[in-house]
Amino acid sequence: MKATVISRTSIYVAAGRAIGAREPDTSVRNPDYLAEPLLGDPSALGLDHPAVRALTLPYDQAMQHVEVANIVRAMLIRTRFIDEALERAVAGGATQLVILGAGFDSHAYRFQSLLKPAKVFEVDRLATQALKKQRVDAVLGGPPANLTYVPVDFQHDDLPAVLTRHGYDPGQRTFFILEGVTMYVPEESVRATLRFVGSHPAGSGIVFDFVYRTMIDWLTNTEPHTLSRPAQAFVARFRNVLKDEPWLFGVPVGQEREFLAECGLVLREAFTIGGDESLKRYVTKADGTQVGAETIAAAMARLEQHTGRTRRRLGAYQIADAVVA
């Protein structure tokens, strides 16, 4: 990826959070109320995707598009799980927070009072970070005093060395957020990053999402003409979002515990984003209905009618948290 290119995937996921933050039912509303203001004018974002176009629509209308409903759900699960993990880490004594591949991440701003005693570092590629800083200045009048922006490319820079040059202390109990990043980074850089996390004092930890290798293989090798018409359109739009940031890395299926152990980390919990557990925990309203359910069920029924096959849930997209023992 060219150094000057803004991450389109960071826009896509922040749009999913921004729309989810408009949900009227607070029990299933995405807590990221800053996603929308940080993104700013949707027409200036340079990404044509239903999730970005949906920013200009009323919530109910936006949620009628299956790709919007899907990204809103996935982001709701991610944001809520990560918010909970962060609160637990600070309550457990973490004094540093490092947000890796930060994009439009808003934890440093939404959790200012929780994080007051801690140091916070946002790590990202230079161009995306420069845009983020501009937006933070415009929306919030500048970053909180405890936040440091650290430009890093995981593929080319020495993360521990650059962080340390920016005032980071590897001897402190530290919590890491690695949200929506592992798939974009080669295996060796993912391993190096996780080994770095694993080298921290006991009680340090990380929350991160990942895909299984089968998903990378499917996305890389599937020929569009082998898919149904609606699936072709979806895959074409998704590949367009990933144009500058291809998916590279997936964990071997079911091997997350072993993969983490090799990096000095103990898996606390992992579950499928969009699987039953995640839907029950984060996406289900008091009356038992789920955010986006009607739209997604209708789209699945259309797809199954088209293909004559019952859709299998792959469970290949996971979220996890892990600790240094």
- Between 70 and 128, CB nearer to ligand SAM: 128
Contact status: 154 vs ligand SAM (CB under 6 A): yes
Give which of 112, 157, 158, 116 is closest to 136, Cα–Cα: 112
Give, in order, the Cα–Cα distances in Å from 39 to each of 36, 51, 80, 128, 132. 5, 12, 20, 12, 9
d(CA 152, CA 135): 19
Quote the tokens at residue 72: 């809103």
Contact status: 32 vs ligand SAM (CB under 6 A): no
Contact status: 104 vs ligand SAM (CB under 6 A): yes
The region of 9-17, 161-169, 231-239, 306-314 touching ligand SAM under the rule CB under 6 A is 9-17
Quote the tokens at residue 325: 């023992």
Contact status: 321 vs ligand SAM (CB under 6 A): no
* Chosen residue from 61, 155, 289, 305 binding ligand SAM by CB under 6 A: 155
**Min separation Cβ 173 and ligand SAM, Å:** 22
Residues 177-196 close enough to bind ligand SAM by CB under 6 A: 179-181, 184-185
Contact status: 102 vs ligand SAM (CB under 6 A): yes
The region of 38-46, 150-158, 193-201, 210-218 touching ligand SAM under the rule CB under 6 A is 150-158
Contact status: 20 vs ligand SAM (CB under 6 A): no
Q: List 86's β-bridge partners, or say none.
A: none
Q: By Cβ distance, which residue is nearest to ligand SAM?
A: 103
The secondary element (H helix, E strand) that includes residue 14 is helix 8-20
d(CA 139, CA 135): 6
Contact status: 152 vs ligand SAM (CB under 6 A): yes
DSSP 287: T
Contact status: 109 vs ligand SAM (CB under 6 A): no
> DSSP secondary structure string, 176-228?
EEE-S-GGGS-HHHHHHHHHHHHTSPTT-EEEEEEEBHHHHHHHHH--GGGS-
Quote the tokens at residue 15: 């749009």
Contact status: 320 vs ligand SAM (CB under 6 A): no
Contact status: 250 vs ligand SAM (CB under 6 A): no
The region of 40-48, 146-154, 166-174, 266-274 touching ligand SAM under the rule CB under 6 A is 146-154
Q: List 98's β-bridge partners, or say none.
A: 121, 176
Can you give the binding site for ligand SAM, defined by CB under 6 A? 7, 9-10, 13-14, 101-105, 124-125, 128, 152-155, 179-181, 184-185, 245
